[in-house]
């Protein structure tokens, strides 16, 4: 069986999904999580309207400081308390911002990995 490198197509299709979607900021940078007030959002956090993620809700996004809103990374997360998995798209995030976001998703009952666009 021949292996095909699909990385370019993966990132390109994610960029197309973002471009074709309405981005809603649900929790602006500096705001607190409604159920966990000690969690202060280090970046804007929202979702792509009218999309679907593994949890049945819209696809979550973190928005970084880079001017381009292309997908720079993806976080794949599992939450044992919620008993679910999902992805988070990182748009225009620097390496440092990506690391901060990854740390947020590696707390408590959650575990996550970061896939970085090359």
List the domain boundaries for the chain: 6-116
pLDDT at 4 over 60: no
- End-to-end distance of the chain based on CA atoms, in angstroms? 25
pLDDT at 5: 64
How many angstroms separate the CA atoms of 16 and 37, rounded?
A: 34
pLDDT at 6 over 80: no
How many angstroms separate the CA atoms of 26 and 3, rounded?
A: 40
Residue among 84, 83, 71, 80 at smallest CA distance from 114? 71
Q: CA angle 24-64-76, nearest 5°?
A: 80
pTM for this predicted structure: 0.91
Name the percent of the chain lying above pLDDT 70: 95
Task: Express each pLDDT in 9-35 by its tens digit.
Answer: 899 999 999 999 999 999 999 999 998
DSSP-derived 3-state class of residue 8: helix
Name the percent of the chain lying above pLDDT 90: 81
Separation of CA 65 from chain center: 14
DSSP-derived 3-state class of residue 112: strand
pLDDT at 2: 57
Task: Express each pLDDT in 37-88 by its tens digit.
Answer: 999 999 999 999 999 987 888 999 999 999 988 999 999 999 999 898 999 9
**With left for phi above 0 and alpha for psi between -120 and 50, is residue 6 left, alpha or beta?**
alpha
Separation of CA 57 from chain center: 13
Summary mean pLDDT of the chain: 93
Fold of 6-116: Inorganic Pyrophosphatase (3.90.80)
3: pLDDT confidence band, cut at 50, 70 and 90? low
């Amino acid at each position: 069986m021949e292996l095909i490198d699909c990385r370019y197509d993966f990132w390109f299709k994610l960029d197309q999904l973002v471009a074709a979607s309405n981005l809603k900021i649900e929790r602006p940078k500096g705001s607190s999580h409604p159920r966990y007030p000690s969690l202060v959002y280090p970046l804007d956090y929202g979702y792509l309207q009218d999309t679907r993620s593994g949890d049945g809700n819209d696809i979550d996004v973190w928005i970084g400081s880079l001017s381009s809103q292309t997908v720079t990374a993806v976080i794949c997360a599992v939450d044992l308390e919620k008993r679910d998995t999902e992805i988070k798209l990182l748009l225009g995030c620097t390496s440092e911002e990506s690391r901060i976001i990854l740390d947020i998703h590696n707390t408590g009952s959650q575990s996550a990995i970061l896939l970085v666009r090359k």
